[in-house]
Amino acid sequence: MSTRRIEIDVRNVQQLPAERELAAAAARATLELSMAEKQSGSRASGAASAGLQLSILLTDDAQLVQLNRDYRGVDEPTDVLAFAQSENHQGEPASGAIGDVVVSVERAYQQAAEVGRRPEAEICELVVHGVLHLMGLRDDTPAGRAEMCRRQREVLARLGMAAAR
C-alpha cells in the first residue's frame, strides 16, 4: 500500500485488557486509506508527502470526562476524543505529528456489551473514528456522518471486522 513512514505510539493506562497492536493496526489502516484516497483524488497534501506520527491513549471514563470538560466544555463521558496537532491551510493534517486519539476502554467495553460484539472490535472502531477526525472528516452533518460511516466500514472490513454503526 503506502511506503510512507507512519509512527504510532499506543499507551494503555487503564486496567481493562486492550490490544495495543490491534489499535495501532486500526490507526495505520485508516491513515493509509485516507492517504490513498487523497492521492487518487489528486489532492496530495503535506501529510501525504512526509512521515506521520500519531499517539493513541487507551484510558478510562474518568480521564475522558476530564478531557471532554476541559477541551469541549462538556461535563460528561464520551467514548473517543481526537486532538489535532496542526492542520494545513486546507484543514487537512500537516505532516509530522498529526495528533492524539484518546479512547475510553471502559466505555468501549460497555458499548460492545450493548451491541453484542467483542470489546477489541469496539476499540478499533473508536480508534478509526478518532483518526478520521484527525484526517479532516466531520460527522456533524448527515452527509458528514454518512462519509464517516462509509470510511469506518471500509477500514474495519480491511481488518476483518464489521462496523457497529
Residue found by looking up cell 462538556 in the block: 74
In this predicted structure, what is the pLDDT of residue 96?
A: 80
pLDDT at 46: 45
* Cell 476499540, residue located: 123
Q: Enumerate the domain spans of the chain.
A: 6-158
Residue whose C-alpha cell is 466544555: 73
Helices (H), the chain: 20-40, 46-49, 61-72, 105-115, 119-134, 142-158
In contact, 120 and 134? CB cutoff 8 Å: no
CATH topology of domain 6-158: Collagenase (Catalytic Domain) (3.40.390)
**pLDDT at position 44:** 45
User: So what's the pLDDT on residue 1?
Assistant: 43
Residues of the chain with pLDDT under 50: 1-2, 43-49, 89-91
pLDDT of residue 2: 44
Predicted pLDDT of residue 47: 43
pLDDT, tens digit, 9 for 90 and up, residues 53-76? 999 999 999 999 999 999 999 999
